[in-house]
Amino acid sequence: MLELVDVRSGYDSEEVLHGLSFSVPPGSVVAVVGSNGAGKTTTLKVISGLLGCHHGHVSVDGRRLSGSSTGEAVRAGVAHVPEGRQVFSNMTVRENLVLGAYAARRVSITSRLDAVIDVFPELVPRLGNYAGSLSGGQQQMLVIGRGLMSEPNYLLLDEPSLGLAPLVTKRIFEVVARLRREGKGVLLVEQNGRQALALAQQAFLLERGTITLTGSGEELLADPGVVERYLGVGTSKGSLDRQQDWTAALAGALVDDQAPEPANRRAIRK
Ligand SMILES: Nc1ncnc2c1ncn2[C@@H]1O[C@H](COP(=O)(O)OP(=O)(O)OP(=O)(O)O)[C@@H](O)[C@H]1O
Ligand SMILES: [Mg+2]
């Protein structure tokens, strides 16, 4: 079980998450919906250790994370797939994938590659190509595949279908369903709220850093207020821009724990 217990966090000047508590059981999809700026991405950053919390904690399978490094979460079995499909453009698809395997420091990179290719056979003909040459959909598959290379038990997906064509989106959601069937816990932040909720065993509405509604995906879908106000809002441009500085930090964490920290990593202190 991935658990957040009364997590408060934010950035230098502002508390953004005001005491979040929820859990992601293995073999389930938990969806998060909420308007732009509600704190969805911030929640994922806290779980993966990109951002510290100044109150409360995150635990994975009963082990409390110190939140002091991104490598710690990866080793505990959490893979964060940030929004924005950030691949290393001038590395090949295979190199991008292999980068995701280093964190665990176990051998069997080949078998991990085989497992990822089994999930995304579309990548096979592109393994030797530069990642920058892939289509948006292929890049999304690649970043999810890179996350899977650490053999996570929990996957954090931030807006995986943003800007993708409906057929590719369908493919991504099929993969999410498959990963859940295989026993992974998936925390899914999605602008395609309807599809995410349709897939989710549990869901919650995040408003200004506070959970204001929880239920099954179906229950939230049946709530006219949720549908009217929060589904299909998309992500803000500013939010996408902000992702650029921490993808490198995440990737660095896959190699070792000495990744440079983004300037805003430190939690605010009150
Ligand atoms: N690096 C940052 N520095 C300062 N404030 C930030 C930073 N990143 C996010 N924020 C602020 O934190 C709040 C929550 O942002 P967050 O990106 O978590 O929202 P979100 O729910 O993911 O929104 P979106 O739907 O646009 O992706 C917003 O008020 C935002 O302005
Ligand atoms: Mg976001």
Residues 20-68 have pLDDT tens digits of 999 999 999 999 998 889 999 999 999 999 999 999 999 999 999 988 7
191 CA to middle of ligand 2, Å?
9
Any atom of ligand 1 within 6 Å of the Cβ of 191: no
Hey, which residues does 213 pair with through a beta bridge?
205
Residue nearest to atom 28 of ligand 1 (CA): 37
Q: What's the confidence (pLDDT) of residue 105? A: 54
Any atom of ligand 1 within 6 Å of the Cβ of 11: yes
Q: What's the confidence (pLDDT) of residue 70? A: 81
39 CA to middle of ligand 1, Å?
6
211 CA to middle of ligand 1, Å?
16
Q: What's the confidence (pLDDT) of residue 246? A: 43
Mean pLDDT over residues 223-246, rounded?
A: 59
CB 233 within 8 A of CB 192: no
Give the pTM.
0.86
**Is pLDDT above 70 for 146?**
yes
Which amino acid, 18?
H
Q: What's the confidence (pLDDT) of residue 221? A: 87
Could you read off the pLDDT of 53-65 as tens digits, one per residue? Answer: 999 999 999 999 9
Give the residue extent of every domain in the chain: 2-254
Pick the more confident residue, 178 or 36.
Answer: 178
Any atom of ligand 1 within 6 Å of the Cβ of 264: yes
Q: What's the confidence (pLDDT) of residue 251? A: 44
Q: What's the confidence (pLDDT) of residue 103? A: 55
Mean pLDDT over residues 90-118, rounded?
A: 85
Q: How crowded is residue 174: how many other Cβ atoms within 10 Å of its Cβ?
A: 12
Edge-first strand order for the sheet with 55-60 is 14-24, 2-11, 55-60, 63-64
**Is pLDDT above 70 for 174?**
yes
81 CA to middle of ligand 1, Å?
16
Q: pLDDT band for position 13 (50/70/90)?
A: confident
Any atom of ligand 1 within 6 Å of the Cβ of 236: yes
Residue nearest to atom 6 of ligand 1 (CA): 11
14 CA to middle of ligand 1, Å?
10
- Domain 2-254 adopts which CATH fold? Rossmann fold (3.40.50)
Could you read off the pLDDT of 62-87 as tens digits, one per residue? Answer: 999 988 788 899 989 999 999 988 89
- The bound ligand whose nearest atom lies closest to the alpha carbon of 14 is 1
